[in-house]
Chain A
């Protein structure tokens, strides 16, 4: 009993509750005639889709910039890469790689500016990041109308210009990762091997980075900026690098998301995209200034698991669709918990 209590304390109550809740959903699923294999398949797909976006939180948290509510900025870089790749009429892997290749420089550029801005407002990063994200999305709304994209599958038919709200990538590079080495167990369960491998590769890269000299310095900046400065580390530079990494990961993440989802969502699409990722990493056990890859993996799985399972299971049980409300309460409750917990540790 004592051990169990210690374990729960170590893992954290919210994570335990959510894990138990998810487990209950999986157990309950067969009883309300929800196919377990389909559920598992969906969870895996969503896990792969969102993984990289959640991973994009790690560098900024580690360098002490707080939760990256400015993720939409990275997403915009990814969108630019995606639509440009479509404009070039590239298909298959070439299209996917081109999208990433185009998105990365944008990500670096946006991240650089965004990082410089955050360096000027140390202490108030999160609120400002939120609004920088929002306003950049709104700014891009204008740009999507004005940028000279001409591919007829992407622009409004009647005007011949201005990008559509939703653009299909099926005929270009939809599913190139997901179907790569895809394993089909049944009609309902297939494993998106390629996408999971790609996510794994990204995790490996991030892991490796934090074992290099720069990565070590970045961790020190996040853990104790005074220590880092006394050891001769340029704090602002480290923070900027971390923001650039986060932004680039966000850009790559949205492209992975789109190839699996099959559509590019422009305009207000990226608006609230930061919140699920923030919630996921916090559910995984990260705090406002410490995040690990384990947090990413566990958090993404738990959060996406709940998102997959609540609509099907709860709806079958209660005959009402409460999944949206549950998503709002769980994800924001989680963020709220993290924010108040940090303050309590600090005040000691």
Chain B
């Protein structure tokens, strides 16, 4: 009987862990992808050109200057690929970056900051 209680207890524990796991892999984020001039800690990054952005190899979106759009992603760890375009829609520069999200991280991805090599290119949106 004791053995069975242990099995049952561990099963409940397993289910709780399973639930936590589901929470992690299923957690969705709505990310704002922003191609605007931004100032982070006295450093200003200018939005210079049109960019093409795709997250996790998904459908790419194109952002003109001063554009912003929403991307929905699932999970905590992602890869973002940004391609800078010139007037003829030719790729000038392409940057790929892996990033992690968590509860406290912001949800605004600043492309100019990313391209400018800023560490804190993910910022909390001002309400």
Q: Touch between A and B in complex, CB under 8 Å?
A: no
